[in-house]
Amino acid sequence: MKSEITLQDSHSARQRISGHVRTTPIAASPSLSATTGGTIELKLEQLQKTGSFKLRGASNAVLSLTEAERAHGVVGVSTGNHGRGLAYAAKQAGVRCIICMSELVPQNKVDGIKAEGAEVRIVGRSQDDAQLEVDKLVAEGMVMLPPFDHPQIIAGQSTLALEMLEQSSDPDTVLVPLSGGGLISGVGMVIKRLSPSTRVIGVSMERGAAMYESQQAGKPIMVPELPTLADSLGGGVGLDNEYTFSMTRSFVDEIVLVSEAEIAAAIRHAYWQERQVIEGSGSVGIAALMSGKIKEPSKCIVVVSGQNIDMNLHHRIISGEDVDVAQES
């Protein structure tokens, strides 16, 4: 029987990964505060070493391996940021790493993983296709470290919430990007234990929001993976999901969806008003605020989760060009 992930697991993970990850800053957003009438702060996790929060969970998982597991090497499936974090953590620990990805993953994210020293295998048109290759490698003896549904991954991601609550006291709302649920499960667990009255709101894209659709259905379901500016939020939750589906159900108060146009507007806002380069998945919380989908955010922390956007695409978006990801895929 699977064990519950606890606040103690979060504190243990924080101690374990100390020195391996950055403590990222929180910054006030005068422009978003003026727009919403609340006090809006941005948790700038895109400034993490590998450009996203994923390094926290990957580092905790790799550092928790036994010597025998390290000797066999690690493998994972990724839309980009988990793969980069896992590749970096494995390299630091001297562990072999293979990342399996679908053809939908942007080339810049593939290149970023290769730059960290991992082997990349491109398989099929979905995360599920790439997972089949992972399963083969696991059968050959490698250790799978998945992107979200894993206790050490979730505990590592949860350390972000411990930092946030030390940096900013008594938020009434926290906005967290939502995909497979590894981040929001960990963050939600910590916040509901330490600040129970704080609303935890997940934000995903309208195109292929697997966790949202699964929560609506009351169980994990298959959802078509579609091209989106929030590409890091793509992929399913796994029909055999052990942790994040139930943790999202327990710790998340609401899930909101944002459109491609709203995501693009948030990327532009982050650049021109906040002086931050962020990817589509990292912008969804800002998008939800700008579109008026968050009610009464009197003191709100927005998790900005990643910056690993293709810079040519970023230039087009901040220049005001209409970008149709469906046509470009």
Residue the block writes with tokens 């991992």:
118
Residue 167 has a pLDDT of 98
Same domain membership, residue 111 and residue 19: no
Query: Are 306 and 214 in a shared domain?
Result: yes
Question: Could you give the number of structural domains in the chain?
Answer: 2
Q: What is the pLDDT of residue 326?
A: 62
- For 154, the token pair is 């979730």
Identify whether residues 297 and 315 lie together within a single domain: yes
pLDDT tens for the 329 residues of the chain, in order: 577 999 999 999 999 999 999 999 999 999 999 999 999 999 999 999 999 999 999 999 999 999 999 999 999 998 889 999 999 999 999 999 999 999 988 898 899 999 999 999 999 988 788 999 999 999 999 999 999 999 999 999 999 999 999 999 899 999 999 999 999 999 999 999 999 999 999 999 999 999 999 999 999 999 998 999 999 998 889 999 999 999 999 999 999 999 999 999 999 999 999 999 999 999 999 999 999 999 989 999 999 999 999 999 999 999 999 887 766 65
Where among 144, 163, 191 does a domain terminate?
Answer: 144
Element (H, E) at 112: helix 107-115
Q: Give strand pairing partners of 179.
A: none
Query: Which residues, including other chains, have CB under 8 Å from residue 115's CB and lie 6 or more apart?
Result: none
The CATH number of the domain holding residue 140 is 3.40.50.1100
Residue at 2 is within a domain: no
Together in a domain, 22 and 132 = no
- Tell me whether residue 276 is in a domain: yes
Residue 1 maps to a domain = no
Domain extent, residue 94, equals: 55-144
Q: Which of 113, 144, 175 is the last residue of a domain?
A: 144
Nearest residue to 303 (alpha-carbon basis) of 110, 112, 158, 136:
158
Residue 106, pLDDT score? 87
Going edge to edge, which strands form the sheet with 39-44? 26-28, 39-44, 299-304, 173-177, 199-205, 254-258
Q: Residue 37: CB partners within 8 Å, gap ≥ 6? A: none
* Distance (Å, whole) CA 75 – CA 137: 7
Which pLDDT belongs to residue 1?
52
Handedness of CA 278, 121, 104, 58 (dihedral sign): negative
Q: What is the DSSP string of 27-67?
A: EE-HHHHHHHSSEEEEEEGGGSTTSBTHHHHHHHHHHT--H
Residues 168 and 261 in one domain: yes
Domain identity same for 34 and 66: no
For the chain, counts of helices (H) and of strands (E):
15, 10
Q: Is residue 105 located within the same domain as residue 254? A: no
Judge whether 260 lies within some domain. Answer: yes
Beta partners for residue 205, in sequence order: 258
Q: Which residues pair with 98 in a beta bridge?
A: 75, 119
**Same domain, yes or no: 93 and 215:** no
Domain membership of residue 23 (yes or no) is yes
Q: Where are the alpha helices (DSSP H) in 116-259?
A: 127-139, 151-167, 182-194, 210-217, 244-251
Q: Say whether both 87 and 113 belong to one domain.
A: yes
Residues 238 and 274 in one domain: yes
Q: Is there a single domain that holds both residue 47 and residue 63?
A: no
Interatomic CA distance for residues 30 and 119, integer angstroms: 43
Boundary-marking domain end, from 120, 144, 168: 144
This prediction has a pTM of 0.95
* Strand (E) or helix (H) holding 300: strand 299-304
Say whether both 62 and 36 belong to one domain: no
